[in-house]
Amino acid sequence: MITSATAQGSGREIRDSVVIRFAGDSGDGMQVTGSQFTLETALAGSDFSTFPDFPAEIRAPAGTTFGVSAFQIHFGGTDVMTPGDAVDVLVAMNPAALTVDVHDLKVGGTVIVDTSAFNERNLGKAGYAKNPLEDDSLARYQVLKFDITKLTADAVKPHGLTSREAHLCRNMWALGLLLWMYGHERAATIEWLKRKFAKKPLIAAANIAALNAGHAFGETAEMPEHLVGYVVPKAVARPGRYRTVSGTEGLAWGLVAGLRAAGIEKMVFAGYPITPASALLHTLANLRAYGVVTFQAEDEIAASGAALGASYTGALGVTSSSGPGIALKTEMLGLAIATELPLVVIDSQRAGPSTGMPTKAEQSDLFQAVHGRNADSPLAVLAAATTSDCFDVAIEAVRLATKYMTPVIVLSDGYLAHAAEPWRIPREADLPKFPVSYRTDPEGFHPFLRNPETLARPWVKPGTPQLEHRIGGLERDYDSGHISYDPDNHARMTKARADKIAGIARDIPLQDVALGDDHGALAVVGWGSTFGPIHQAVKIARDEGRDVSHVHVRYLSPFPRNLGELLKRFDRVLVPEMNNGQLVKLLRAEYLVPAEPFGKVTGKPFRVTEIVQAIRKVMEKR
């Protein structure tokens, strides 16, 4: 909590921003609790950033540490760009949640526990020899001990639930209390509960009773003295209509928007189940009415093949996966490059190598995206910065793929896929339009005739009379498109493919500076989902009086044409990224700038403070 004062008259203390984490067993409904808290936060007018952290196991044994599911929300009045470094309030529904999550709680932070859950059995499963509520191990925190189990049971008693059913209402009690603490409304949650349990009115009523009881608990005299109400100011946001958007939704809707902007009738989205990319397949599977055909293929290779087959017909082919699956698509990317067909490939990166840590985020597929193919096989690579940026990046990927007849890889990651933020909903009329044109004129046609400006070849829909032609992976003659093994022709075609991708740099925005001057002592250069923490860190460093700027690179292949020149105007370049140093090497290779790496490969997003410290360190070294 950044500042502390008392709001006039309300008896509530003011907080600029707050980080809350709801943690409990997988069966405790923490994701739902978090989502509903987020909704009420949004309706209260705060800016927010959320991140769920669910267990890798599908059904982990109850009460165990690896079955802990958590949801973190950071909300407040000023720019909220990350889900927050350190937690102000931890709601721990059982001992396992406490032991897993208490380390992220600030010294002096508040932990709310359900005392009933701290029984011998649960303590044992969480690995506690002694009950932490009864010794001084939590002395650094304010511990609010409530018998949430009993308070919930009392509240739902009139509805005649079984004790198991009553137990499942505990999360609503906790939600009610937290909503009271931050002065949020409950109406949207009540409405949601009624809708969700429309067929089970008793359950709906019981949950609402628990929610109200938690709220009333804060409101009434029962409240212990440490339990204080707060006020968090509203954010100053651009007027408009808003909603919550996750990275997965942003990508899915962006692809649909791109499809329409290009004036293409149909998108074939082919995927194969893989964490964390599957969510995109699930989301798009519901968008049939929007021209989307989804296909769950037999493997990653077939998914990329089906997408490319769709592009061959003049539809938009899209495939998606995570690192190990993208590796399998490599061969098809080569074919897409050779036959110069559009293809959008979404890579939700995760920690590797190999299976690695499927549920943990990493940015370690940059090399794979830019260079990970046999032969000289250039393509375009973009990365999304935030969940709302996912929407814009997906549109841009469709634009580049269709305009330049090339595969485009969009790098997202497991963090962006699940994180959520408020999003100002665009209107379709305000979105860019870039209609594609299919070749229909047989006059002078051959399949590799290039547009002199973009160097793209014509896109022909099979079905078009007199344009029948054959394409394939074999090298083809520059002037006729026929198979050719001629050495000079291969050199010419290799160069044409490279020039086409390099030329995209003329068609994308110049590299800007996200924060700070366009020259100075230090540029902190990032890409992808680390935008938030880097931005905040640079802001803090600048507040400390440091000459630092933030440069966020969205276009990773090709780079914006002024990037090298821009970086050379800084004495030092620091590149924080969630890998062992990839962008840093691309920058050094491309521009011979003395960029320095700052990698984090724990599977967890950067904390702002980690980057602030790295900035201080690099600036102090001379």
**Among residue numbers 78 through 107, which ones bind another protein (CB under 8 A)?**
none
Shortest CB 245 distance to another protein, Å: 9
| Closer of 264 and 548 to another protein (Cβ) | 264
Q: Is 540 a binder of another protein (CB under 8 A)?
A: no
Site mask for another protein (CB under 8 A), range 483-512, x = bound: x-----------------------------
- If DSSP codes are grouped into helix, strand and coil, which group holds residue 365? coil
In angstroms, what CA-CA distances link 308 with 267, 342, 435? Answer: 11, 8, 20
**Which of 177, 208, 310, 410 lies at the binding interface for another protein (CB under 8 A)?**
310
In angstroms, what CA-CA distances link 336 with 33, 86, 124? Answer: 44, 45, 56
| Closer of 190 and 471 to another protein (Cβ) | 471
Q: Is 473 a binder of another protein (CB under 8 A)?
A: yes
Q: Is 465 a binder of another protein (CB under 8 A)?
A: yes
Instruction: Using the structure block, give the residue that is written with the tokens 């009045």.
Output: 77
Query: How far, in Å, CA of 577 to CA of 556, rounded?
Result: 13
Contact, 50 vs 38, CB < 8 A?
Answer: yes
Q: Is 513 a binder of another protein (CB under 8 A)?
A: no
| Closer of 297 and 521 to another protein (Cβ) | 297
Contact, 535 vs 551, CB < 8 A?
Answer: no
Q: Is 288 a binder of another protein (CB under 8 A)?
A: yes
Stretch that binds another protein, among 125-133, 199-207, 286-294, 491-499 (CB under 8 A): 286-294
SS3 string, 541-609, reads HHHCCCCEEEEECCEEECCCCCHHHHHCCEEEEEEEECCCCCHHHHHHHHHCCCEEEEECCCCCCCCHH
Instruction: Using the structure block, give the residue that is written with the tokens 């931890």.
Output: 90
| Closer of 280 and 302 to another protein (Cβ) | 302
Q: Is 196 a binder of another protein (CB under 8 A)?
A: no
| Closer of 202 and 483 to another protein (Cβ) | 483
| Closer of 153 and 390 to another protein (Cβ) | 390
Site residues for another protein, window 354-373 (CB under 8 A)?
Answer: none
**Which of 148, 302, 366, 390 lies at the binding interface for another protein (CB under 8 A)?**
302
**Which of 226, 466, 485, 621 lies at the binding interface for another protein (CB under 8 A)?**
466
User: Could you give phi then psi for residue 422, rounded to 5 degrees?
Assistant: -70, 150
Annotate 75-114 with b (16+ C-beta within 10 A) or e (fewer). bbbeebbbbbbebbbbbbbbbbbbbbbbebbbeebbbbbb
| Closer of 243 and 617 to another protein (Cβ) | 243
**Which of 203, 467, 534, 548 lies at the binding interface for another protein (CB under 8 A)?**
467
**Which of 134, 135, 376, 468 lies at the binding interface for another protein (CB under 8 A)?**
468
Q: Is 589 a binder of another protein (CB under 8 A)?
A: no
Q: Is 433 a binder of another protein (CB under 8 A)?
A: no
Site residues for another protein, window 48-67 (CB under 8 A)?
Answer: none
Query: How far, in Å, CA of 541 to CA of 549, rounded?
Result: 9
| Closer of 482 and 506 to another protein (Cβ) | 482
Q: CA torsion sign, 77 to 80 to 86 to 87?
A: positive
Query: How far, in Å, CA of 333 to CA of 436, rounded?
Result: 21
Stretch that binds another protein, among 105-113, 178-186, 463-471, 515-523 (CB under 8 A): 463-471
Q: Of all helices (H) and strands (E), which one includes residue 156? A: helix 148-156
Q: Is 274 a binder of another protein (CB under 8 A)?
A: no
* Relative orientation angle of helices 247-261 and 278-285, to the nearest 10 degrees: 50
With CB under 8 A, what is the number of residues at the site for another protein?
A: 72
| Closer of 149 and 248 to another protein (Cβ) | 248
User: Which residue(s) pair with 19 in the sheet?
Assistant: 74
| Closer of 80 and 366 to another protein (Cβ) | 80
Shortest CB 415 distance to another protein, Å: 22
Shortest CB 41 distance to another protein, Å: 11
Site mask for another protein (CB under 8 A), range 311-350, x = bound: xxxxx-x-------------xx-xx---x-----------
Amino acid at 531: F
If we measure between CA atoms, which residue out of 528, 414, 577, 536 comes closest to residue 53? 414
Query: How far, in Å, CA of 480 to CA of 310, rounded?
Result: 24
Q: Is 238 a binder of another protein (CB under 8 A)?
A: yes
Contact, 418 vs 284, CB < 8 A?
Answer: no
| Closer of 260 and 550 to another protein (Cβ) | 260
Shortest CB 193 distance to another protein, Å: 14
Listed as own residue / partner, the contacts of 592-600 with beta carbons closer than 8 Å and 24 or more positions apart are: 593/564, 593/567, 593/568, 595/525, 595/567, 596/572, 598/574, 600/576
Query: How far, in Å, CA of 59 to CA of 198, rounded?
Result: 27
If we measure between CA atoms, which residue out of 58, 70, 123 comes closest to residue 96? 123
Site residues for another protein, window 4-43 (CB under 8 A)?
Answer: 39, 42-43
**Which of 172, 175, 211, 270 lies at the binding interface for another protein (CB under 8 A)?**
270
Site residues for another protein, window 240-269 (CB under 8 A)?
Answer: 240-244, 253, 256-257, 260, 266, 268
Contact, 6 vs 208, CB < 8 A?
Answer: no
Q: Is 428 a binder of another protein (CB under 8 A)?
A: yes
Shortest CB 191 distance to another protein, Å: 9
Shortest CB 266 distance to another protein, Å: 6
Query: How far, in Å, CA of 86 to CA of 123, rounded?
Result: 25
| Closer of 247 and 576 to another protein (Cβ) | 247
Shortest CB 54 distance to another protein, Å: 21
